[in-house]
């Protein structure tokens, strides 16, 4: 695997993107199944199993939950743009895709004692 000399601001932005995505996914798991209030439903039993799909009523998101989701999405968009438009990529020419893949795992390679 090739090694890259990623600038620290790019590494920091990628790590922030990763952490924000994880936080958003964890938050999303706590939300009702529908952003808007919807009635629950029950479907027919699945063929060759005893599974009957069903959802209970969804109260929808509260205004605070809508705001938090919007905040996460805006932050994810901003960080994604920061990472993908960083000037570092222009100097690579070929091999940008491999470098992008390496950047996604660069935080895993930090020496012991460093946090980030």
Domain layout of the chain by residue ranges: 8-109
- Residue whose pair of structure tokens reads 């020419």 in the numeric block: 93
SS3 of residue 38 by DSSP: strand
Query: How far is the C-alpha of 48 from the C-alpha of 63, rounded, in Å?
Result: 42
Whole-structure pTM value: 0.81
Tens digit of pLDDT per residue, the chain (116 long)?
A: 468 899 999 999 999 999 999 999 999 999 999 999 999 999 988 888 888 889 999 999 999 999 999 999 999 999 999 999 999 999 988 889 999 999 999 888 665 555 54
The helix/strand/coil state of 55 is: strand
């Amino acid at each position: 695997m090739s090694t890259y000399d990623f600038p620290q601001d790019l590494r920091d932005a990628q790590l922030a993107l990763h952490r924000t995505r994880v936080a958003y996914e964890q938050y999303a798991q706590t939300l009702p199944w529908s952003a808007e209030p919807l009635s629950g439903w029950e479907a027919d039993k699945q063929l060759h199993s005893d599974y009957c799909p069903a959802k209970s009523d969804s109260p929808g998101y509260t205004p605070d939950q809508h705001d938090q989701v919007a905040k996460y999405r805006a932050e994810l968009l901003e960080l994604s743009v920061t990472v993908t438009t960083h000037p570092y990529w222009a100097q690579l020419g070929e091999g940008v895709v491999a470098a992008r893949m390496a950047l996604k795992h660069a935080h895993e390679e930090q020496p012991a004692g460093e946090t980030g």
